[in-house]
Amino acid sequence: MLQLSGMVVVGSRKDNLRDLARDYWRALDATNQTFELIFIIDGHQDDAVSELEKVRSADKLPIKIVQLSRSFGDATALMCGVDLALGETIVTLPAYYQVDPEELPALIQQATECDVLLVRRNPRRGGKFERFRRRVFHRILEAITDYRFSDLGCYVRVLDRKVLQELRLYGDQHRFLPVLARNAGFTITEVDAKQSKHDDFRSRYRAREYLHRLLDIFTIFFLVRFTKKPLRFFGMIGSLIGIAGGLILAVLVVERLFMGVALADRPALLLSSLLVVLGLQLFSLGLLGELIIFTHARSLKEYKIAEIIGADDSGAQNETSQPTLN
Amino acid sequence: MFTVLPAKICWKYLNLIKYMRNQYDLSVVVPFLNEEESIRHMYDAVMSAVEPLERPFEVIFVDDGSTDRTLEIGRELAAEDDRLRIISFRRNYGQTPAMAAGIDHARGRVIVTMDGDLQNDPRDIGALLEKIEEGYDLVVGWRHNRQDKLISRKIPSFIANRLIGKVTGVPIKDNGCSLKAYRADIIQNVPLYAEMHRFIPAMAAIAGPRIAEIKVRHHARNFGSSKYGLSRVYKVLLDLLTIKTLTGFFSRPTLWFSLLGMPFALLGILFSIATVFSFFTTGSFPMPMAGTGLLFIALSMFLFFNGILGELVYNTGETRTEDFARMTISSRSDNDSATLIKEFDTK
């Protein structure tokens, strides 16, 4: 086993990989720990591979390169990396400059106390709107999950190996790893680090990106709050819609019975029954969800045990060696 | 050599191991959440109540992610007494997971659960145990002179208990009482998650246990504050619906969803007939009426196919009705063989 595994997932956004690899290598080397540096290339990127090969051949730095057969997304690539990594502590690093690499040894030093060390880029560049956008994102997340983070977009993270092994990430969950880790009960600290001068945030946020973030937040909301209680989630939405429909329907029926307003020709009838139907459909999805949870409940242990104190089996056996009548 | 066994077979072996591991007569499971004032009292009370029973026992305290000194005090207690085990959670998960963790790790043949806030009296454990030994699978405590506020606690819980009894068919007077005793091989096989602790008897009812209810003492809170308030009517209602679905229909989802869809199918057909009738009598074609009819028919179809999906879920799941059936058979035949052996001995 090694002490450290540096892990770089190379996706669509990347800086000059050769410089980056050399900088990261130098930073990890400065920690005086045994380490490895793994580059996981998410999909076919021949230019990236040739750049990294140059690091191996010309710069004589034995970095490891993992080529995935197609693009699976950051989280899956990271999990592939974890399966191959030999380090006790895993340092995830972006394939572009976010934090000044010179800060890394100090950060890794600080990570011994906790399971997950998050890095907050501070002081951080960016205009007023940029800062506002960031704050809104983190506030929404806090409102939904009760967990406060200040820089989820920073992918420089120092994690205990067991964190990644336990949280099987998928899809776009890489960004929300801290939320999921907190939810699983791991200890998390955030520290400040200097932002790299190459860190370029502009033109990253287009309209589609906003939509993605919004859907991500919704998914996280469901995962964190309602995983074991699908009926609460679907039932909440379903009963609101259903009750709204039921109320309109009741008004229509009362009007038909006591005021002589014809029922059959009113478009409101269609609207109200549509709402009732939609509400019930959501409700039945919730019930189906409950069925899924129930039939798998034995393998889904809800709680995470930190430690068992006094679990001394040998002592217990001696104590109860006397025969007992059932 | 090691081979990968299917999850189901693993589960069965695990059960066997668990059964063999059950080496105590009694496990007392107590969850704690921020009870630094009462944990020591609780420990003394439990020990002094259980020791006179003269049976091998263990006590399991589950620390549900307390933020005060509960865990520290528990650690001190466990260091001095190896009959006590502490399970500590990484964070706060809630009462049901805490109970579930204690039950999963219990090694007694009978498991007694109770609250950690001294509202239940450990002196009742003996009576519960006696009932279990009479042949009941599950004994439920009933706080007959409950020391709580009338308006905010007693009346809502009276209504809730009646409702739960009516819907689940397990008429227990006090579902909220944590003081209960179970045969380990029943409760360790009932899936416990989310906030199901209030419905454990109803859940266990899938296995058809013999349930007894006895009066237990109840004390007003001396320390700390109540962690469970009133604003949960909605949650209880939804949970109740879930329980009803699961206990009654979890192996027959098509039937359940078809029953749900049936009234809408009838309503839809009625509306459609009314539309056609109105077309022939008045010559006009009422669109909203026709649309509503079709919508309701579509809903019933949707529900029916949801049921089919439910069959798929049940088929691929791990929890099956046979398991519950088997569970009761084994526990009954155990008893029978025990009595047979006794008779044989006396001859």
Q: pTM for this one? A: 0.76
Residue A320 has pLDDT above 50, yes or no: no
The number of angstroms, rounded, from the C-alpha of B259 to the middle of its chain's C-alpha atoms is 26
**Residues of chain A contacting B330 with CB distance shorter than 8 Å:** none
Query: What dotted CATH number matches B21-247?
Result: 3.90.550.10
Tokens of B303: 């529900």
Residue A294 has pLDDT above 90, yes or no: no
Distance to chain A for B152, nearest Cα, Å: 23
Residue A21 has pLDDT above 80, yes or no: yes
- In A234-263, the residues whose Cβ lies within 8 Å of chain B are 235, 263
Instruction: Give the residue from B49, B95, B306, B197 showing the smallest Cα distance to A282.
Output: B306
**Band of residue A150 on the pLDDT scale cut at 50, 70, 90:** confident
**Residues of chain B contacting A303 with CB distance shorter than 8 Å:** 89, 93, 97-98, 100-101
The domain spans of chain B are 21-247, 253-318
* pLDDT 10s digits, A171-227: 778 888 999 898 888 989 999 998 888 876 655 567 777 888 888 888 888 888 877
- Of A5-14, A81-90, B310-319, the poorest mean pLDDT is in B310-319
Cβ pair B300, B261 in contact under 8 A: yes
Nearest to B86 among A269, A296, A310 (CB): A310
Tokens of A93: 């690093």
Instruction: Name the DSSP letter for residue A186.
Output: -
Contact status of B247 with chain A (Cβ, < 8 Å):
no
Contact status of A303 with chain B (Cβ, < 8 Å):
yes
Q: What is the DSSP string of B253-321?
A: HHHHHHHHHHHHHHHHHHHHHHHHHHHHHHS---HHHHHHHHHHHHHHHHHHHHHHHHHHHHHHSS--H
CATH superfamily of A2-226: Spore Coat Polysaccharide Biosynthesis Protein SpsA; Chain A (3.90.550.10)
Helix (H) or strand (E) holding A252: helix A230-258
Q: Chains A, B: CB contacts under 8 A, how many?
A: 180
Expressed in angstroms, the distance from the first to the final Cα of chain A is: 49
The domain spans of chain A are 2-226, 230-295
The Cα-based distances of A30 to A53, A101, A106, A196 in angstroms read 23, 11, 10, 18
Tokens of A161: 């190996």
Q: Please judge whether B313 and A292 are an interchain contact, meaning their C-beta atoms are less than 8 angstroms apart.
A: yes
Residues of chain B with pLDDT under 50: 1-2, 227-228, 230, 331-347
Cβ pair A74, A174 in contact under 8 A: yes
Greater confidence, A121 or A298? A121
**Band of residue A314 on the pLDDT scale cut at 50, 70, 90:** very low
Contacts of B247 (CB under 8 A, 6+ apart): B168, B202, B203, B205, B206
- In B200-229, the residues whose Cβ lies within 8 Å of chain A are none
Q: Is omega for the bond preceding A123 within 30 degrees of 0, making it cis?
A: yes
> What ipTM does the predicted assembly reach?
0.77
Most A CBs within 10 Å, among B299, B309, B312, B321, to test the A interface:
B299
Work out whether the CA dihedral A111, A117, A123, A125 comes out positive or negative.
positive
| pLDDT in the model for residue A204 | 58
Nearest to A288 among B11, B264, B310 (CB): B310
Contact status of B272 with chain A (Cβ, < 8 Å):
no
Greater confidence, B176 or A243? A243
| pLDDT in the model for residue B297 | 94
The Cα-based distances of B23 to A319, B19, B240 in angstroms read 10, 9, 35
- In B93-132, the residues whose Cβ lies within 8 Å of chain A are 93, 96-98, 100-101, 104-105, 107, 109
Q: Please judge whether A269 and B288 are an interchain contact, meaning their C-beta atoms are less than 8 angstroms apart.
A: yes
Contacts of B98 (CB under 8 A, 6+ apart): A303, B31, B33, B62, B64, B89
**Residues of chain B contacting A300 with CB distance shorter than 8 Å:** 193
Nearest to A294 among B23, B246, B338 (CB): B246
**Band of residue A321 on the pLDDT scale cut at 50, 70, 90:** very low
| pLDDT in the model for residue B224 | 53
Distance to chain B for A184, nearest Cα, Å: 8
* pLDDT 10s digits, A49-69: 999 999 999 988 999 999 998
